[in-house]
Amino acid sequence: MTWQGFSNYSALMETELKTLEEKINQFVKLCHRQRSENIQLRQQLAGATSENKHLSEKINAATTRLESLLTQFPGNK
């Protein structure tokens, strides 16, 4: 192999390395975005779960009150 051939090989490798570096940087950015989105989705899920629990408690309380009221009607005892 001549020095001239080695120079072409080195330039080709340098180009491939730069392309690989760009792809890795894009991948790292995507991972950061996905991690941020995952954190946000976990927070939304926690909020929705909390709200669901609160609403279930309200429904249970309302059901209990209605059942209590229904027992007060004549003929339901």
Residue 1 pLDDT grade (very low, low, confident, very high; cuts 50, 70, 90): very low
Q: Hey, which bits of the chain come out as E strands?
A: none
Q: What pLDDT, in 10s, does the model give residues 29-51?
A: 999 999 999 999 999 999 999 99
57 near 51, Cβ under 8 Å?
no
The rounded distance, in Å, linking the Cα atoms of 46 and 37 is: 14
Which positions ≥6 away from 1 have C-beta within 8 Å? 9
Q: What pLDDT, in 10s, does the model give residues 20-33?
A: 999 999 999 999 99
Query: Residue 63 corresponds to which tokens in the numbers above?
Result: 């059901």
Which positions ≥6 away from 76 have C-beta within 8 Å? 70
| Biggest CA pair distance of the chain | 108
